[in-house]
């Protein structure tokens, strides 16, 4: 209940948080680690009231037996409590530091895994694991501080239960010896008082055990409370019907009055002095250079960015919003379009037609029921934009806000959609919908379709008016690349290849396998290898010693009571020695578990998991659908960066880190979180086995007739554990899997927070997340009930054993002594606890092996990029020229889905080749084949005469190509330096700060990171380079593309071919790959980027292969007689030639 309440509160709070600068890793860590800690501690803390009563009752009964000597255990309790209090003082802060270190690791892991495609394209996937590993080492260092305190704390707590009985008995014996009255210690006194001492010390020990958990959970509770108390997003927008001057807003849909947009993290406004009135049903286009504040204005309109002055008034706060990077939740294509709205099939068909999605659906086997994957991972960039646009249209909002929603579309598709929406007969105009369209690259020929234009620049409005007014200013028009060649520079409309698209969009199989190998002993071997055999043997030795020395005093006590007074000190010394050895062995078990096994297993299993993931091929990240892989790989889905990081890297790793030590020490009371039972059980079961064997042997030796009940007890326990095991295993697996559903639902809502709030879907998303949470609570609750049933059944079995013991003692008088009966009754109490612990630990071992099984299975079954035969490593200076030969290449994602058909072309050294075509024509597939992210089915790709199919993939990406992808990656938690240079070569050219800074200045980004300062001291510049990029000013999408170009320029400098010979720097990687590198740039910035590419690459003899769906800006920079254009259609080469030859094709003219 507590966990559900906390997770629900965190979920609700997240929907009202600021989207800018929001740390989703923190929210997930609070949901998992902190909420689990609080929930587990609260469950145990609830038992303290009963334990306090038990201590009081035990004290009264003990006082009646020993009189004033009853204060002895309380003296020990006092000193142990003081020690516990001293240790607990710093535990909360250390626990908080551990949780925060876990949060940082998860944040970095999420960032790396979600950027895996981009990292692989530049050959940095293996380099990106080092920041994660460093954070993992820091996390384990923080954990070691908590673990040392827990070892010391438990040493104090264990002393109470082990030494209190013997010290109390010694006090009693000393007093008796002074008085010299009869036998110093008789049977009745010894065993009765020992049992009563247990009634006092055991609950007192449990209370002291709960203290560190309660204190540790306070750190989590405080973190949750701090999160919940953060101020929510403040929406300062005003509904026009609430405006003071109703006459002004009578005909307006959007009204901006002296608005200055300034985020909370910014010292100055991004853009200011905006005055704008947009009438109902009018179309407004907003443009301007990269970083001028267009997207900031869009976020201000939907209430995501604050204003330092002025007022934003709207006729409705429900806005059909298309983000610059579209958010698409996992599910079917139709679900993504309809969202949380009721289905209207007729309107849905109209929307598909408006967004030109009909032909795409025709190429899908399952049509609109095809699973698109989380974030639309299985869709192309253009398809994602059109699905997001279709969702905005389907919602039928009064206001639509499109933020650069046509940047990934080919010219023909873009023109058709623009005409469908805002043309003379466009839907938006006919329906009277107000549209605010932001664009970077839309040519000025579309401006005349707008009722108003707004051009931003230099932090203010550079122009505002109509197209007719702007047309009178030739200088302004030229900036937006207005010419008559736009139409003819668009790509031809080609028929969609049904198989080429269906290979990307597959229907989820929706099957899951809950079965786990309960008797798979290879899992034990897998785990023992991770913890090191010597550590495991040390633990076995300590647990065996604990079992022996903790139980043997009962036998000594029985002998002591029947021995003469002269042997009192002999047996007392033996009792003390056994208690001391039990304390030492218990602490040895604790130390070996906390300080040896937990760090080793945590380090090794995390390393294996990380190595497995970063070495997996790209197909592994895109082909695995959420529904199927959720059970197979603990969240290893298409949205691998989210679910795997929070399932394998969070839950499973926490099993190793956080539950192991307390489970070793005690089975009856679960300590710490309930996620690492699997790690503890292979270690703790031997302890319980040894205890049970010793205790049972002593019990039956005390009352030999009890052996008659032994077969019945064994059968009863076997039946109970078998029934319990079969049920609890499945319930535990269902519990783990249903929690993944909570995380996936939560992550999706965080990822699309701005879109959800723009559409006004907060309540629907909250309800969906609560349903996932309720579903996850069901198996947990049933499992808890089943565990209570197990406790009752085992208690009844032990009660039956005790009853049988007394019955045999009464019926068979003379066969046993009083000492034997006393020992047997005390052992029954121990057997009760041990039996419950043994069955529970064995059962929890079986049901919890799923986590180890997942890690083992993931490591064994995940394919590796490196395959046998890929061992050829050409020696430097290969590649030197950069000649690319593609000979009859066919690429298929599967036998029924061929993406490229018999493609043949040759790119000469120093040549610039532009590959263009409609969305889905195979452009990006060809780039993936060049980088060997996809293998060719037939044919060959050679660079400087070397067949790439024989070369290591890492060598290809590190030595041959510099790549700027369509979706450049940014690792938010990594430093600016690492983001720019993630693949430093050891022993080769090291990039100085001056080189990095000059590169950023070349692309115009250095002033962005220095907040406008052009010159800063070297020490401050170094600090900026070593600052996490999440702490620096946020970049726009266009600036991220410039950032990717900066990274490419630096990669060229530090490539293996670079050397310094007599002061001369040779050329680095010979080939530059560009995939829609200018899609989100305004024409002026695009021209500047083209000049940089020419100066830094083309002019220096590099081969440049560029993928683009438009030729408008690229054609101007191509060299006649040297550079060429390739037109792809349906995965085939339609035309190769000069710009003029390709643009003159009949298909294009049509």
Residues 909 and 857 both lie in one domain: no
912 and 820 together in one domain:
no
Task: Give the pLDDT score at 739.
Answer: 74
Q: Are residues 900 and 889 in contact, defined by beta-carbon separation less than 8 angstroms? A: yes
Q: Please say whether the beta carbons of 59 and 259 come within 8 A.
A: no
**CATH number of the domain to which 97 belongs:** 1.20.1560.10
- Is residue 139 assigned to a domain? yes
Question: Does residue 337 lie within any of the structural domains?
Answer: no
At 130 the three-state DSSP class reads helix
Eight-class DSSP state of 1028: B
Q: Is residue 64 part of a domain?
A: yes
368: DSSP letter: G
Query: Which residues, at least 6 apart from 766, have a Cβ–Cβ distance to it below 8 Å?
Result: 11, 12, 15
List the chain residues with pLDDT less than 50. Answer: 243-245, 249, 442, 482-519, 624-646, 659-695, 698, 702-703, 705, 985-988, 1057-1066, 1146-1150
Which pLDDT score is estimated for 366?
Answer: 74
State the Cα–Cα distance between residues 370 and 378, nearest whole angstrom.
10
996 Cα distance to chain centroid? 31
Domain containing residue 836: 2-230+512-553+565-861
Which residue, among 406, 288, 207, has the nearest Cα to 1079 in the 3D structure?
406
Last residue of a domain, one of 846, 861, 876: 861
Each residue of 547-591: pLDDT tens digit? 778 777 877 777 777 777 778 788 888 888 988 998 998 888 888
On whether both 826 and 960 belong to a single domain, the answer is: no
Residue 755: predicted pLDDT: 92
Residue 439 CB neighbours (<10 A): 22
pLDDT of 479 reads 55
**DSSP tally for the chain: helices H, then strands E:** 43, 22
C-alpha 459/C-alpha 446 separation (Å) is 24
pLDDT at 675: 29
Pair (955, 831) in one structural domain: no
On whether both 84 and 142 belong to a single domain, the answer is yes
| 849 lies in the same domain as 974 | no
> Do residues 857 and 944 share a domain?
no
In this structure, the answer to whether residues 994 and 1031 fall within a common structural domain is: yes
921 and 785 within one domain: no
How many Å apart are CA 681 and CA 685, to the nearest integer?
5
- Asked whether residue 986 is domain-assigned, the answer is yes
Return the pLDDT at 512: 37
pLDDT at position 746 is 80
Are 929 and 798 found together in one domain? no
**Residues whose CB is less than 8 angstroms from the CB of residue 679 and which lie 6 or more positions away in sequence, other chains included:** 527, 597, 598, 601, 655, 656, 659, 660, 663, 852
pLDDT of residue 702: 47
Beta strands in 972-1011 (DSSP E): none
Q: What is the pTM of this model?
A: 0.74
| 1036 and 911 within one domain | yes
Q: Is 35 part of a structural domain of the chain?
A: yes
Contacts of 515 (CB under 8 A, 6+ apart): none
Supply the pLDDT for residue 434: 94
Is position 252 within any domain?
Answer: no
Does a cis peptide bond (omega within 30 degrees of 0) precede residue 111? no
- CA 78 – CA 57 distance, rounded (Å): 18
Per-residue confidence (pLDDT) for residue 844, from 0 to 100: 56
Residue 313 inside a domain? The answer is no
pLDDT of residue 829: 59
User: Which domain-ending residue is among 827, 861, 895?
Assistant: 861
CATH number of the domain where residue 1143 is located: 3.40.50.300
The pLDDT value given to residue 462: 86
The strand pairing partners of 890, in sequence order, are 938
Strand order from edge to edge, sheet including 938-943: 897-907, 884-894, 938-943, 946-947
- Same domain flag for 805 and 678: yes
The tally of domains found in the chain comes to: 2
pLDDT at 653 (0 to 100):
61
In a domain, 950, yes or no: yes
Per residue in 332-351, pLDDT (tens digit) is 889 999 988 999 999 999 99
Q: Supply the pLDDT for residue 73.
A: 79
């Amino acid at each position: 209940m507590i966990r559900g309440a906390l997770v629900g509160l965190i979920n609700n709070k997240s929907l009202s948080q600021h989207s800018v600068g929001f740390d989703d890793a923190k929210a997930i860590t609070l949901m998992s680690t902190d909420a689990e800690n609080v929930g587990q501690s609260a469950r145990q803390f609830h038992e303290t009231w009963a334990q306090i009563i038990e201590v009081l009752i035990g004290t009264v009964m003990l006082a009646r037996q020993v009189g004033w000597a009853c204060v002895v255990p309380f003296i020990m309790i006092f000193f142990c409590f003081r020690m516990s209090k001293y240790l607990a003082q710093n535990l909360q802060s250390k626990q908080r530091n551990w949780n925060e270190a876990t949060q940082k690791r998860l944040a970095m892991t999420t960032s790396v895994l979600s950027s895996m495609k981009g990292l692989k394209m530049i050959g940095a996937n293996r380099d990106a694991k080092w920041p994660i590993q460093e954070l993992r080492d820091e996390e384990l260092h923080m954990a070691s501080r908590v673990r040392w305190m827990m070892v010391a704390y438990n040493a104090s707590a264990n002393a109470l239960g082990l030494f209190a009985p013997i010290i109390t008995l010694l006090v009693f014996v000393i007093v008796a010896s002074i008085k010299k009255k009869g036998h110093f210690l008789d049977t009745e006194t010894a065993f009765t008082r020992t049992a009563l001492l247990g009634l006092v010390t055991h609950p007192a020990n449990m209370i002291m055990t709960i203290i560190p958990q309660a204190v540790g959970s306070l750190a989590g509770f405080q973190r949750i409370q701090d999160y919940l108390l953060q101020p929510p997003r403040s929406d300062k927008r005003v509904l026009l019907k609430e405006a003071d001057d109703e006459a002004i807003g009578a005909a307006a849909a959007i009204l901006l009055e002296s608005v200055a947009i300034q985020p909370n993290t910014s010292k100055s406004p991004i853009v200011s002095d905006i005055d704008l009135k947009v009438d109902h049903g009018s179309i407004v286009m907003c443009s301007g250079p990269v970083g001028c504040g267009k997207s900031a204005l869009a976020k201000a309109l939907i209430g995501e960015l604050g204003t330092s002055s002025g007022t934003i008034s709207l006729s409705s706060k429900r806005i059909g919003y298309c983000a610059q990077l579209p958010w698409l939740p996992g599910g079917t294509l139709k679900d993504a379009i309809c969202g949380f709205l009721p289905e209207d099939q007729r309107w849905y068909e109209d929307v598909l037609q408006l967004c030109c999605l009909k032909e795409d659906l025709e190429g899908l086997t399952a049509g609109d029921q095809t699973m698109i994957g989380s974030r639309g991972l299985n869709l192309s960039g253009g398809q994602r934009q059109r699905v997001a646009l279709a969702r905005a249209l389907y919602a039928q909002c009064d206001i639509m806000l499109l933020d650069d929603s046509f940047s990934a579309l080919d010219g023909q598709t873009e023109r058709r959609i623009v005409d469908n929406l805002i043309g003379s007969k466009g839907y938006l105009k006919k329906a009277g919908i107000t549209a605010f369209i932001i664009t970077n690259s839309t040519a000025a020929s579309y401006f005349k379709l707008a009722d108003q234009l707004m051009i931003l620049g230099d932090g203010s409005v550079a122009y505002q008016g109509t197209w007719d007014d702007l047309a009178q200013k030739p200088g302004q028009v030229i900036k937006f690349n207005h010419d008559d060649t736009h139409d003819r520079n668009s790509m031809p409309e080609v028929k969609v290849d049904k198989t080429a698209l269906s290979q990307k969009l597959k229907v989820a199989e929706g099957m899951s396998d809950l079965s786990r190998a309960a008797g798979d002993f290879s899992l034990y071997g897998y785990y023992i290898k991770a913890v090191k055999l010597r550590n495991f043997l040390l633990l076995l030795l300590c647990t065996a010693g604990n079992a022996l020395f903790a139980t043997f005093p009962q036998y000594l006590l029985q002998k002591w009571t029947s021995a003469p007074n002269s042997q009192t000190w002999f047996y007392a010394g033996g009792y003390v020695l056994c208690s001391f050895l039990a304390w030492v062995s218990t602490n040895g078990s604790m130390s070996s578990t906390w300080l040896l096994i937990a760090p080793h297993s945590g380090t090794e299993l995390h390393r294996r998991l990380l190595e497995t993931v970063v070495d997996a091929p790209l197909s592994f990240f895109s082909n695995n659908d959420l529904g199927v892989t959720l059970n197979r790989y603990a969240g290893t889905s298409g949205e691998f960066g989210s679910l795997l990081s929070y399932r394998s890297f969070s839950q499973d790793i926490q099993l190793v880190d956080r539950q192991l030590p307390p489970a070793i020490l005690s089975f009856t009371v679960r300590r710490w979180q309930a996620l690492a039972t699997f790690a503890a059980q292979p270690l703790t079961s031997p302890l319980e086995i040894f205890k049970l064997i010793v205790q049972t042997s002593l019990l039956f030796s005390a009352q030999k007739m009890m052996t008659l009940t032994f077969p019945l007890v064994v059968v009863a326990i076997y039946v109970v554990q078998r029934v319990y095991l079969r049920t609890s295993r499945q319930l535990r697996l269902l519990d783990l899997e249903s929690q993944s559903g909570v995380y996936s639902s939560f992550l999706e809502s965080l990822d699309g927070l701005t879109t959800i709030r723009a559409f006004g879907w907060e309540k629907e998303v909250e309800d969906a997340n609560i349903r996932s949470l309720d579903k996850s609570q069901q198996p947990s609750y049933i499992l808890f009930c089943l565990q209570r049933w197990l406790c009752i059944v085992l208690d009844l079995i032990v009660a039956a054993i005790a009853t049988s013991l007394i019955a045999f003692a009464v019926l068979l008088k003379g066969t046993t002594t009083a000492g034997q009966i006393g020992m047997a009754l005390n052992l029954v109490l121990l057997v009760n606890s041990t039996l419950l612990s043994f069955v529970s630990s064995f059962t929890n071992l079986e049901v919890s092996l799923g986590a180890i099984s997942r890690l083992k299975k993931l490591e064994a079954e995940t394919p590796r990029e490196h395959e046998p035969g890929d061992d050829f490593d050409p020696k430097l200076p290969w590649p030197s020229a950069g000649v690319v030969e593609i000979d009859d290449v066919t690429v298929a994602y599967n036998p029924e889905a061929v993406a490229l058909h018999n493609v043949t072309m040759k790119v000469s050294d120093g040549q610039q080749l532009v590959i263009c075509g409609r969305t889905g024509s195979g452009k990006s597939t060809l780039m993936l084949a060049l980088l060997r992210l996809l293998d060719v089915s037939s044919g060959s790709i050679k660079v400087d005469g070397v067949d790439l199919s024989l070369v290591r993939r890492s060598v290809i990406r590190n030595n041959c190509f510099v790549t700027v992808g369509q979706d450049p990656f940014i690792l938010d938690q990594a430093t600016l330096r690492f983001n720019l240079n993630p693949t430093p070569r050891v022993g080769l050219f090291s990039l100085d700060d001056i080189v990095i800074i000059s590169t950023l200045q070349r692309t115009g980004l250095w002033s962005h990171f220095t907040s406008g300062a052009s010159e800063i001291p070297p020490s401050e510049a170094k600090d900026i380079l070593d600052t996490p990029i999440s702490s620096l000013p946020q970049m726009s999408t266009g600036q991220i593309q410039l950032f990717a170009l900066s990274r490419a320029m630096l990669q060229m400098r530090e490539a293996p071919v670079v050397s310094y010979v007599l002061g001369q720097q040779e050329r680095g990687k010979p080939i530059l790959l560009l995939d829609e590198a200018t899609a989100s740039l305004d024409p002026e910035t695009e021209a500047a980027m083209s000049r940089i590419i020419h100066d830094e690459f083309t002019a220096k003899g590099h081969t440049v292969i560029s993928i683009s769906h438009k030729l408008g800006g690229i054609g101007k920079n191509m060299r006649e007689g040297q550079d060429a254009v390739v037109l792809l259609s349906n995965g085939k080469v339609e035309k190769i030639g000069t710009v003029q030859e390709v643009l003159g094709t009949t298909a294009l003219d049509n």
